[in-house]
Structure 1
C-alpha cells in the first residue's frame, strides 16, 4: 500500500476561450428572462471543478427577480405544494453526468452534503446509458410543468462547461419524452466545442409541453494562477473539457497516476495494465516505460515510447478505466499498512481527505458526508479568496477591462461636453 503520494509538478494552464463562448455568456441574462428551468450540467468526476462561476451572477439575479433569495429552497422540486402555483417558475437543477464513473458509495453522502450547502439547488446524478436516470429526470421536468397548469409550456435552458454531455442528455430526454421513433436532434462529439451556437427549441414532452434549448459549452476565460489554476486546467483536460493539443500528454498522465493512487492506494485501477505482481507506482516515467513495454510500444533499439503510452493511458481511462476506478472501496485494506496513523481517501478528482486509522471501524456514510462538507467548505473559501485576490482574471484580461473602462469614461466625457455646447 502507498503510504505517501507526492503531488506531481503541473504545467501552466493554457487559455481556451473562443469567441462563441464569450458571445453566449453575454446572451445568458436575456435568455434567462424566458427560461423557467435551468439544467446546469457538471461532471461527476469533477463535481466542484466543473462549476462555471461565470454563470453564478446571472443565475442569482434571475432567481432574485423571480422572488427567490439565494438561500430559498425550490418548493416545486423539494417539497409538495398544496396546489398549482401562479407565480413565476424559477427552478435550478444541477445534473451530475457520468455517475457510473465515480464510486457509488459516495453519491448519497455527496448529495446530502450539497443539499446542506446549496439549498437553492436540486441535485441529480445520472448516467446517460441508464434509462431509469433519464426517465427520472424527464419526470422531474414534467412534474414542474404540471404544477403550473396555467402556463402553456415549460422552457428549459441547458448550460455547462464543454463536454459534460449537454447535447447527449437532450437527445436522450427527447427520446424518452416523445412517443414513437425520434431522430437524433443534436450532433454530439467526444471532443469539446461541438456546439457553438444556441440550438433551436427542442420538444421534450407533448403533454404537458416542455421545450429545451441546448447551449455552447463555456470554459472559464482564465483558469487561475499558480497551483490552483494548474490543477484546474489538468483536471478539465483529462475529462476532454479542453481542446486537444493544449496540454502535454505526459503531464496529464502524471496527474492521472496521482489521482488513481489516491482513489485506491492498495490496488489502483491501472495495475491491471501492468505485468502481474507489479506494486503501485509513484513515478510516472517508470509507469509509462512499463506500460509501453507491455503494449509493445517501442522505438528503434527497443526504447519504450513513453509518449505513445501516455496517450494510450489517458484514452484508456476515458473509455474504460474510469469504470474500473469507480470500483475503488470506501476504505483501503488497512492490513496492508500496519502502523499507519492516517490515510488519504478520495472520491472523484475533487474530493480528498484524511482518515484516522484508529477510527476506521466507525467509518460510515455520515463520516463520509462530514468529510465531503469540509471539502466543499474549503473549495468555497478558496474560491472567495481567489476572487478577492483577482485570481479569476488574467493580467491581460485585467488590462483589457481597464482599457474598456477608460474608453467608456472618455465617451461619457465627450458626450457631456457635446451636450453642454448644444445647451449653450
Structure 2
C-alpha cells in the first residue's frame, strides 16, 4: 500500500486560440438552426471536461424553445426539437461499477440532459446513440430534417464519434467524413453538414474543440490544467512531462493504492511508490532506457509513462474491481476514487451490512458534483478569474472599438 499525496503542480497556461473565440461568438446564431446539441465529454474527466463557457448560450437556447426555467426537466412549448444530449466518450477508460451511480447522480443535478456512456469501438453504443437521434426526429414528423450540433473540449473524440455514427446510419461503404488526430486542435472551423440518417433526415455539424479561456487560479486551476493535458486536451508542449507524470502517478495510487496499474511496467516484485524519481528510474531500467555513461533516461521514461496511460494503462486501470480503498494515513478515512474527477472518504457506516454499495457511491458522487458546482460558481463570480492573456486581448478589442467609433464620428462630420 502507498499513501497518495498531491504533488506540486505548475501554473496552468492560457491556450485559447482565435478560432475558439470565433466559434464561441458564433454559437448563439448556430443554435437558432439547431435541434439537438450533442455535447461530448471525456469519461475520465466527466466534470473537468464540462465547458461552462458555452452554457450561457445553451441555457438561452433552451428557454427560447419553451423549456421551463423553474423546472429544467419540463417543457411548456414543443414546436420543434430542442434536446441536450451528453455523451461520456471513451467509456473503456473508467471502471464499469461507477457508471450507473454517476449517471443517476448527474440526472438529479441536471434533469434536462440525457446522458449516456459510449465508445466508438463499441457498435452497440453507437447504435444506441443513433437510435436516440432518429427517435427525436420521428417525434417531429412535420420537420424537414433534424440538425445536430456537436460540441465539446479539444480531443474528447467528437470527429471520431461522428464518423462512427455516419457509418452506422448510412448503409453501404461510406468515406471517412472527418479527419481525426490524437492531438487537440485538428478541427478549427465549423464543418459542412454530415448526413447521419436518410429516413428520417438527420444532419450533424462538427465544431472546433473549445478550451476554457482561463483554467483558474490556485490549486484548483493547476489541477484542472494537468488533468486536461493528460488526456491530450491541451496543445502539446505547454506542460512539462514530469509534471504530468507526477500527477498521473498520484492518481493511479488513489485509484488502487495496493496494486496500482503501473506495477505492470516495473520489474517483478516492485512495490507501489509515490516518489516520481524512484518510479521513473525503475521504469527506465525495466525498459532499457539508458543514456551514454550508463545513466538512466528519466525524461524518456516520463514521456513513455504518460503515453502508456493514454493508450493502454487507462484500460488497465479501468478493469480494477470496486475496493473499499486504503490510501490514508493512520487515523484517517480510506480514500476511494473513480476516474480522475471523483475522490471521497470511505467511512465505517458506508460498509455496514445492508447498505447498497451502488447507492453509497451515488451519494458520494452527488456530494462531489455539489462541490464542483459550488467552486465553479464561485470562480465565475470572481472578477479576477481571468487570465492575463485574456485581459490583454480584451484591452486590444476595446481599443480597436474606440478607434472605430472615433473614425466613424469623423466621417459623419
2:344 is the alignment partner of 1:345: no
Give 4+ residue runs of structure 1 displaced > 6 Å after superposition.
336-339, 409-419
- TM-superposed CA distance for 1:348, in Å, is 0.5
Normalised to the residue count of structure 2, the TM-score between the two structures is 0.93
Q: How does 1:39-118 map to 2 (within 5 A)?
A: 39-70=38-69, 72-73=71-72, 87-118=79-110
Tell me, in whole angstroms, the C-alpha distance in 2 between the residues paired with 1:156 and 1:330.
Answer: 37
Paired residues of 2:68 and 2:74 also in contact (CA < 8 A): no
Counterpart position of 2:20: 21
Q: How does 1:14-413 map to 2 (within 5 A)?
A: 14-70=13-69, 72-73=71-72, 87-332=79-324, 342-357=333-348, 359-361=350-352, 362=355, 364-390=357-383, 392-401=385-394, 404-405=397-398
CA RMSD of aligned residues (A): 2.4
Distance 1:90 1:401, change over 3 A: same
**More moved, 362-371 vs 337-346:** 337-346
- Residue-by-residue CA offset, 1:377-416 (whole Å, 9 max, x unaligned): 0001001111122354113423543564576578779978
- TM-superposed CA distance for 1:262, in Å, is 0.5
- Residue-by-residue CA offset, 1:311-358 (whole Å, 9 max, x unaligned): 000110011100001022322476x99976511111100111100146
Paired residues of 1:40 and 1:160 also in contact (CA < 8 A): yes
Tell me, in whole angstroms, the C-alpha distance in 2 between the residues paired with 1:206 and 1:301.
Answer: 64
Mark the runs of 5 or more structure 2 residues left unpaired by the alignment: none
- TM-superposed CA distance for 1:70, in Å, is 4.5
Tell me, in whole angstroms, the C-alpha distance in 2 between the residues paired with 1:61 and 1:313.
Answer: 43
Mark the runs of 5 or more structure 1 residues left unpaired by the alignment: 77-84
Tell me, in whole angstroms, the C-alpha distance in 1 between the residues paired with 2:209 and 2:94.
Answer: 22
Tell me, in whole angstroms, the C-alpha distance in 2 between the residues paired with 1:325 and 1:284.
Answer: 18
Paired residues of 1:204 and 1:210 also in contact (CA < 8 A): yes
Paired residues of 2:191 and 2:206 also in contact (CA < 8 A): yes
- TM-superposed CA distance for 1:86, in Å, is 5.8
- Residue-by-residue CA offset, 1:259-317 (whole Å, 9 max, x unaligned): 00011111100011111221110001110010000001011222111100000001100
Paired residues of 2:263 and 2:271 also in contact (CA < 8 A): yes
Paired residues of 1:298 and 1:304 also in contact (CA < 8 A): yes
Tell me, in whole angstroms, the C-alpha distance in 2 between the residues paired with 1:35 and 1:87.
Answer: 13
